[in-house]
Structure 1
Amino acid sequence: MMSTQVLLDLKNVNKVFGTNHVLKQIDLQIERGKFITFLGPSGCGKTTLLRSIAGFYTIDEGEIWIDGKLVNDLPPYKRGTPMVFQEYALFPHMTVFDNVAYGLDIQKRPEAEVQERVQAALAKVKLTGLEERYPHQMSGGQQQRVAMARALVMNSPIILLDEPLSNLDAKLREEVRVELRAIQQELGLTVIYVTHDQLEALSMSDYIVVFNKGAIDQYGTPHEIYYKPRTRYVADFIGTTNFVEATVKEVSGPEATVEYGINGHTVKVSTSEQVAVGEQVLLSIRPESLRINQPEAGDFTIRAVVKSSMFLGEKERYFLSGYNGTEWIVDAYDIGQTSFEGNVDIRAAADKIHLIKMAD
């Protein structure tokens, strides 16, 4: 029996367009009141899955359960899954009020109820007083809020957002991002949000679903996705990282001693993966976890040569060359006027190193 905390349950969902297998055996459970982000590059299947949940696409195999009900055969307007589109899809000839009321009018709700619910939805997105404006009289950010209010007014258990901020400039996008998250948390909404923007996903989500060629590579919290990626693909797609090939020398419970580099250095790292002695693995180390010429910075160490650097305000980003020409990226924060040149040591603490199985 499905847990009452699970609002959306996807079982073995498959979708094929022609010869393109777009969704491959998707199994996913989403809890009530969470902000979930579908993340991945263009063509990875995230929008196809969102539209399949909404009912705009019919899946070829599998089951979609919403609030304990199998919805495979239900049309979109009976699923309770309002969607906010990338281009907002507002009716240009309708006022803000009428745009927001549209779904309630389709349901033939009483006029008094429509008035009350529309005003409440507009208040939630800070658009009270703009009821009689038309979309062309509003900024991109205001139009985005109208689209959100149109979804909120339906009092649905789940709201779907398809890259809704991509048409906004960077500053406004950040402002609306904060507002969206605040609305979701205040109202306890269940939101599924599609984006290819890693920063958006990390900053807004309770959980992130990382898509890779139609399949789910990892489902976890932002911290898990960033610091404990399960695959090389996830580690590489989310932010910037350094990869080091290593060999497992010893396994002791949740810890593995691995050998790396040309001089046979070893470091003991924690891992939740099942690894065997002699197995080839990858170590993932984020640029901000590395230190230059700091002997006390950790047990992992590599000799490298500084090739170039880039000043990014709060940090200096260094590009280095290590053994066998391996490339390294190190972020140095708050170093004042200090700069590094020539041969250096780069180090990392063992608890900043994440082990990834090669097989993945």
Structure 2
Amino acid sequence: MASPLLLDLKNVNKIFGQNHVLKDINLQIEKGKFITFLGPSGCGKTTLLRSIAGFYTIDSGDIFIAGNRVNELPPYKRGTPMVFQEYALFPHMTVFNNVAYGLDIQKRPEDEIQERVSAALAKVKLTGLEERYPHEMSGGQQQRVAMARALVMNSPIILLDEPLSNLDAKLREEVRVELRTIQQELGLTVIYVTHDQLEALSMSDEIVVFNKGVIDQHGTPHEIYYKPRTQYVADFIGTTNFIPVEVVRIEGSRITVKYGKAGRTVTVESDLSLKIGEQIMLSVRPESLRINEQANEHDFVIQAYVSHSTFLGEKERYFAVDKDTADWVPQWIIDAYDIGATRYRGSIQISAAPDKLHLINK
């Protein structure tokens, strides 16, 4: 059974001067989900987050939270606390007072404030640090204070605007796990903005990929990574190889395409609506390509030559060229894992099983 709908955006538009930042955004988010808004700078993801929070007034469309239209409500009445990239902690206040600030504004009873702040600090593992000031804490601890300040309001949605970008790589990973754990344990609905693909893939129930003010794709991390609907999504999420192909046969969802100058064919499962002779793109991830393994007659196969490689610890990344597809593919990228001392040089065969291939409209 689907979770209750918590956030419903209908034809949301936002314009700054001559810049149409959000273009007819339609999005529904269910309760208890961790949703990531993903995309490069300037794509509209932060503008939409701040529009949901009420910091921006949308130019047209509607925003519904728990069934209530909130277009005219100020931020403090929407129940959408926001954790900012800079944390926005009050430097002259202790940890306790920073977390309690929203409850103080609501004039909640002192015993309730004490209980709720203590509970929020326990959730983010900051019990015992109530009397410290922000400047006495690490970046990771400040981030947790900001999260506790959001949690203490018992709000239906928590909004996070790139909250880990100021942390070093190791601490980012630790806090990332903590955030996801807190969200799952408490059943929170979280909307998280980032341009980091790894963060999005590792933390999210669903990812919303933005491209120049529109949503290119909304789906699970697995769908976004392995079944991108556009070339933009496939290229933005991780690394992929593209090759132009021509549709030569259609049998239901089984699409046979021709690739390369030699006119090899491969049959791929796809839900695209296509026509014989149509030119489309085939996408295959570097980790899905095999080097010098026995290929069967149904596989995608290319004979290539290794130009160079890069050792990346857990894998060796190979860059290869071939004459058959050189007019369309400047170089193939292949990731080989757990290869020990083996390093490939010179001529190689690269191949992939049909279920590792994905067709995309140009």
Q: TM exceeds 0.5?
A: yes
Q: Residue 261 of structure 2 aligns with which residue?
A: 262
Equivalent of 2:353 in 331, 345, 349: 349
- Give the SS at the match of 1:73: coil
Q: Residue 139 of structure 2 aligns with which residue?
A: 140
Q: How many residues align?
A: 356
Alpha-carbon distance in 2 for matches of 1:17, 1:128: 43
Q: What residue identity is the alignment partner of 1:126?
A: K
**C-alpha RMSD of matched pairs (Å):** 1.0
Q: Residue 165 of structure 1 aligns with which residue?
A: 164
Alpha-carbon distance in 2 for matches of 1:209, 1:226: 12
Moved more, 77-86 or 315-324: 315-324
Preserved CA contact (<8 Å) 2:260 2:325: no
Q: Deviations over 1:10-35 (max 9, x none)?
A: 00000000000000110000000000
Alpha-carbon distance in 2 for matches of 1:185, 1:324: 46
1:338 positional shift: 1.5
Moved more, 181-190 or 289-298: 289-298
Written as runs of structure 1 = structure 2, the 5 A alignment for 1:47-196 is 47-196=46-195
Structure 1: unaligned runs, 5 residues or longer: none
Q: Residue 285 of structure 1 aligns with which residue?
A: 284
1:324 positional shift: 4.5
- Give the SS at the match of 1:295: coil
1:197 positional shift: 0.2
Q: Deviations over 1:158-210 (max 9, x none)?
A: 00000000000000000000000000000000000000000000000000000
1:4 positional shift: 7.0
TM-score normalised to structure 2 length: 0.97
Q: Residue 309 of structure 1 aligns with which residue?
A: 309
- Give the SS at the match of 2:146: helix
TM-score normalised to structure 1 length: 0.97
Which 4+ stretches in 1 moved above 6 angstroms? none
Q: What residue identity is the alignment partner of 2:353?
A: A
Q: What residue identity is the alignment partner of 1:319?
A: F
1:157 positional shift: 0.3
Equivalent of 2:344 in 331, 340, 343: 340
Alpha-carbon distance in 2 for matches of 1:328, 1:235: 15
Q: Residue 300 of structure 2 aligns with which residue?
A: 300
Q: What residue identity is the alignment partner of 1:118?
A: V
Alpha-carbon distance in 2 for matches of 1:345, 1:27: 45
Alpha-carbon distance in 2 for matches of 1:20, 1:189: 34
Moved more, 249-258 or 11-20: 249-258
Alpha-carbon distance in 1 for matches of 2:96, 2:170: 27
Alpha-carbon distance in 1 for matches of 2:90, 2:343: 56
1:343 positional shift: 1.7
Alpha-carbon distance in 2 for matches of 1:253, 1:73: 49
- Give the SS at the match of 2:295: helix
- Give the SS at the match of 1:121: helix
Alpha-carbon distance in 2 for matches of 1:336, 1:140: 38
* Identical aligned residues as a percent: 76
